[in-house]
Amino acid sequence: MTEFWEEAFKEKQEMWGLEPAKSTVLTKDFFVKHKIKNVLIPGIGYGRNAKIFTDNGLTVTGIEISQTAIDLAKKHFGNDLLIYHGSVTEMPFDDKLYDGIFCYGLIYLLDNEERKKLIQDCFNQLAEDGFMIFTAITKDAPTYGQGIQIGKDRFEMFGGVKIFFYDKETIEEEFKSAGLFEVTEVTENYPFYLIKCRKNKTK
């Protein structure tokens, strides 16, 4: 997957523009409301979904597999962002606990075991009373069922991209042990679920 995204960023550069996604704006509002200060963004890309957090006084740390994307982030945001170069499947990259984690447009690109590991790794790096928010593409997406089926609700399309499509039952199954408390729907270029989890204080 490394080579695919490296080539994609090289070819298309800022392929999604510089404006934050709608899910990111909603997450920023939620994080600000709950006084979140330190945010980890696995799969930060070139930072388009990070600036809105730093603009609101939050400290952002990212993880990104593409060096090209990291270079683009530095070009746009200077040294405001600390970004670890590597795959999210190799988390953790530090031993820090974050009070907010935001994972946009990433989890559905992973296989079953990788998704489980990412959820657990993020939960492990969440501070007590911290929140983590994931976006996941839904089965209502027009691309659901297209391409080559490579597993249950998982298809390969767009020249090699593997996508897992979520429903609420799958969300419950995958996130229930990670403090899942709310699932809402938001429409971006595709229909997404906004999945919210909280790490409650141990009694």
CATH code of 2-198, in short, is: 3.40.50.150
**Cα distances (Å, whole numbers) of residue 134 to 84, 93, 108, 155:** 19, 19, 10, 20
pTM of the model: 0.89
Q: Taking the mean position of all CA atoms in its chain, how far away is CA 8?
A: 18
pLDDT tens for the chain, 203 residues long, are 445 444 544 444 445 567 899 999 999 999 999 999 999 999 999 898 998 999 999 999 999 999 988 998 888 877 778 999 999 999 999 999 999 999 998 999 999 999 999 999 999 999 999 999 999 999 999 999 999 999 999 999 988 899 999 999 999 999 999 999 999 999 998 999 999 999 987 54
For residue 77, the tally of other CB atoms under 10 A from its CB is: 17
Rounded Cα distance, 119 and 53, in Å: 22
* DSSP calls for 94-115: S---EEEEEE-S-GGGS-HHHH
Domain boundaries, the chain: 2-198
